[in-house]
Every structure is written in structure tokens, then in C-alpha cells.
Structure 1
């Protein structure tokens, strides 16, 4: 009799311990899914916010509810002059920036130009800069600090010592990715192809932009945008009870240079 009582009590204790451990495992899975989705949304917001705050005047190219395309400043230089009809620009860094064809742009004054680099431009650019702005010490072709840019037909003639800026063309949107098939992601495209930034996303939404002018009124005019409200919703890849956890985070970005 005593043995039967001991067996029953032991069985009850084993069952209680098993249920406790099972509950702990489920709780750990739930917490892991929640942490994943919260970090996912916050990282996406941090990256998007950091990029968008640098937008300058005339920087927004296109703006919609689920995507934004804009120019992000990458390098600053000074116009030296011309060489063979191409604009010579010198940069303070160790090497002049290359432009990605069809996406990056060169800005002088208030004009943005889709331009291309001149092949083998080292000697011509260095000669134009040495003759134009006379840097001390003189620029050598091997340094790579000076570069020639082909301007489109009809571009104005620029004066020496004018500021010149190289801009990346960046796009944030939502879509699929060959790198991570089977899901929809927030994507960042710096002109060389869209790369997944955060996800997977729920079926509806995931990345939502709202645009306001300086008075707080909603606007669809890219030139009038002064504030951008960004909302990010992501799902967890880890699942709890066969369901993904979801988290939404949002912020308001005040454009610094507009």
C-alpha cells in the first residue's frame, strides 16, 4: 500500500515538473520571438532615420506611402575647371569618388547632373586642377584625388572653386529578395541592387511613410516635405503556437537641411 502511494505521489511530481519545464520552454520561445521582432523593427527604424535626416534641399526624388527615393550626400569637392569639355573636380580625401551609372549624381550650385566618370582621367583632371585652383602641393595623377566628369548637353559653365557634391541615389521600399526568398522585406537600394534590411513583413503594410510640410499639413510634393513619419511592422521568424509575433515601431524624422 505504501509503495502504491509513493508511486502515485512520484507520478504527480513528475507530471508537475514536466508541465513546469514545458511552460518554461514555451515562455522562452515566446520571449525569443518577441525580442527578435522588436530588434528587427528598431534596427530598421534606426538605419532609415539616420539616412533620411541627411537629406538636403531638392534631395527627395519620389515619395509614396510605401517607398521613398532620395539623394544622400557622399562626398564634397571643389570645381577646378575643364579639360577636354569635362568638368574637373578635386576632393579632399585620398581618392575621388566613383559614380554609379544611372543612379548617382553630381551637384554644383543648385544643379543636379546624372554624369559619368571619364576613363583614364587622372592626368587630365590633375592638370586642370593644378592650373585652375593651384593647390599646394600640386596634385599628381597617381593620387586619385581629382576626377573628370562628363556633363550632359546643355549644362551650364561652372566657375573654379565652386563647391561640388557627389550624391548617392537611395531607395527604401518593400518587396521580395533573391537573397531571402519566400518573404516580403524592407529593402534598401543604394543604386547597386535592393538588399533586405528587415523582415519578414506582414501581408499588409510593413513600411509606411507619411509626409508633412513645415506647417504640419500632409503633402505629396517632394519639395515641400519637412517631416517624415515612418512606421515599421515586422514579423518574427521564430513562431509561437504556429504564429509569428509582430511588432510595430514608429518615429518622426525632422529633415535637418530643408
Structure 2
């Protein structure tokens, strides 16, 4: 249910607690207005959020922002990788010592592909970038830039297998599953500082986190590709260890546990159906 409608229902009828799901850039938009977000939407969220009873946030960053803008307690529930894809990614023999970057996502300004294109033009290393996702075929192919558009599952696994590094260049993101998929495949991931999974990536190496500018993204990419094969393999092993924790069964169990705790926190005495 849309948040504003839910709040109206709360005041106009007898209902259970209103739980907000913090899983997108809504809170970042309140903190610092984002392109593409309307003033009307921003106002609706600013008015509604103080009246929610609690929030399920998909990242530590969103949890912090929710505590600032929302009413009630906050619990964190991380997304996970679906079982079939998790198993396939875990079984891939990837090549962290190679020279290929994989960037997955629909081609639009909020996803930062144009920032990555600018960054690559500033990197003097012999690096190839594969763009995959809806509308990425609009990216002009030239030299080391390859655009694949929307791809099949098998093609996506092939691109993961040949990649040495995943780059998610969006300036803002809640907890992008594609970054988790990179970790599941045992690949280091470059993200920007306002991406929810940056807290995870810091556990591989903080230098993989960049400001959302072409200059700093180029710095992170340049740093990685100048590493020795041995150091890259060590980072890949750290990524692989982090990826273990995002299995679907564990994610669903954690979701149920934290949701139940949140309902208890807000004083709800009902039952939850399995």
C-alpha cells in the first residue's frame, strides 16, 4: 500500500501498525533532493513518515536515515540472492586477474553508467567494460566499451565468469542485489559512498568505495587494476566470504525474525502467518 494511503487508513479506520519498508532512495531524496524525484512525492513522504509505527530498512544507511525522518523503531533486513542464481554464481570460476569490468543495470542517469564511461576515459590501464541491462544497447560501442542490452540468464553468467571486477556506479542505492551477486561470484565490487552495500565492500578494501564522480571512480578502478594477481586473488577471496551470507533461505529466516521483533517493539499482539 502507498505510504500516504496507509497513513490515511490509520487515522480513518481501525487498522494494525503501519510498517514502512525502507528499500529505495526515498530517504536519500529527503536528505538531498535527487533528480527525477518530484516535489510532490518528497512532500508526501516528509508528511507521512513521522506517523509510521516502525520501519524495516534494507541497509544500515537507510536505518540511520529512517531514525531521522520516521516514527517508531527500525529493524534491518538485508536483501538476498535467489537460490537458483546464488548456486550458479557460487559455482562460477571467475577471473579476478583479468581486465574486464562488468556493469549491470538499466541504462539511465540515476544508475551512473555515464559516470563510469567518463571514468574509463581517465583510466590508462588496458580495461574493457561490459554493460548489460535494459537499454544499455544505447551505449555506443567503441574500443574497450561493449554494450549488450538485456541479456539472458546464461549470457549474464558468462559475463560474470569473464569479469575481474564489478562496478556499480550509481550515486545512490539502497542495497543493490547486483552487488551481492558480484560477491557471491567471488568478485570484488566498486560502489559509491551512498550505496547501502558500501559497508560490506569496505570489508574487502575501503579503496573500492568511490565518491560518485568520474575522477574518483577512475581512481578506484585504476587502483584495482594496478594490483598484483596475488593481491587481487586475496580481495576476491574476501568477496567470496562475504557472498556466503546472502543465501535466500537465511535471508527469509532473518526477515521473519526481524519483522516479528519489530511488531513486538510497536506493541502489536497479533500473529504472523508463515
* Structure with the largest fraction of strand: 1
TM-score band, normalised by the shorter chain? under 0.3
Larger Rg: 1
- Under a length normalisation based on structure 1, what TM-score does the superposition of the two structures give? 0.22
Higher relative contact order (CA 8 A, sep 6+): 1
- Under a length normalisation based on structure 2, what TM-score does the superposition of the two structures give? 0.21
* Structure with the largest fraction of helix: 2
